[in-house]
Structure 1
Amino acid sequence: MGVIKLKNIRTFSYHGCLVEESKIGSNYRVDLEIEADLSTSAVSDKLADTVDYVHLNRIVVEEMAIRSELLEHAAKRIVDRTLKELILVNRVEVEVSKLNPPIGGDVEEVTIILSKKR
């Protein structure tokens, strides 16, 4: 078993419950971690034998571009799509963080974490 991590994927998205958030948008950070059997690719040195992190990044960017009221909803789409499209993935964990959230306080970020096993 092996792990692939994509850290600090930055997006500008329009998630949130407030009407203003759908108009002005916010900065987000996404961290993605997958577990997969990487033993074949470690020997073969072939992209076809592993989980392509370009594909993982594309999933995150495309799903974060779809507006959601809740971060949980965006994270679930990322998790579900990863498991659907990448058969080698056995487990996925995603952290979605809204930077400088409009919650009336000095808060650097709000983060939700979802994970799922095949």
Structure 2
Amino acid sequence: MNIQSSYIFLRNLRFHASHGVLPQERVTGNDYEVSLRIGYDLGRAMRTDDVADTLNYADVYRLVEQEMSVPANLLERVACRMAERLFRTYPAVTSLDLWLTKLNPPMGADADGAGVELHLINDKTD
């Protein structure tokens, strides 16, 4: 069996955080969702059944949680910090798809949210 590609994903992680340009956003905060699709070779873990041979999603969650707790003006910056830290912490990660959504954006619209979506390749794994 040959693996064409493999991923770890965390879907719709929920946080309350203080990101935003408006002063009130820094005071009251907002609710956010983060989803990740992380390219990672799962071949060894599939054979060994050992968590040491995979990307532990509990550890990834803690990393995302830490970055969400650091206020920023722009979601673009928060998403960039997460990506940089994931690639730095886990050099074997080959790619990252990241969605960061502000659930109640202050824009006067009835919406499910607004945010950023990144599709990144780890150029250090080439």
On whether the aligned pair clears a TM of 0.5, the verdict is yes
SS at match of 1:101: coil
Cross-structure match for 2:62: 58
TM norm structure 2: 0.90
Unaligned stretches of 5+ residues in structure 1: none
Unaligned stretches of 5+ residues in structure 2: none
Query: Which amino acid is 2:8 matched to?
Result: I
Cross-structure match for 1:29: 33
Give the alignment partner of residue 18 of structure 1, picking from 18, 22, 25: 22
SS at match of 1:89: coil
CA-CA distance at 1:93 after TM superposition: 1.4
Cross-structure match for 1:77: 81
Deviation per CA, 1:11-68: give whole Å up to 9, x if none.
0000000000000000000001101111011101111111110111011111010001
Higher strand share: 1
TM norm structure 1: 0.96
SS at match of 1:83: helix
| Overall identity of the aligned pairs, in % | 33
SS at match of 1:82: helix
SS at match of 2:83: helix
Alpha-carbon RMSD across the aligned residues, in angstroms, is 0.9
Q: 1:12–1:26: 8 Å Cα contact kept in structure 2?
A: yes
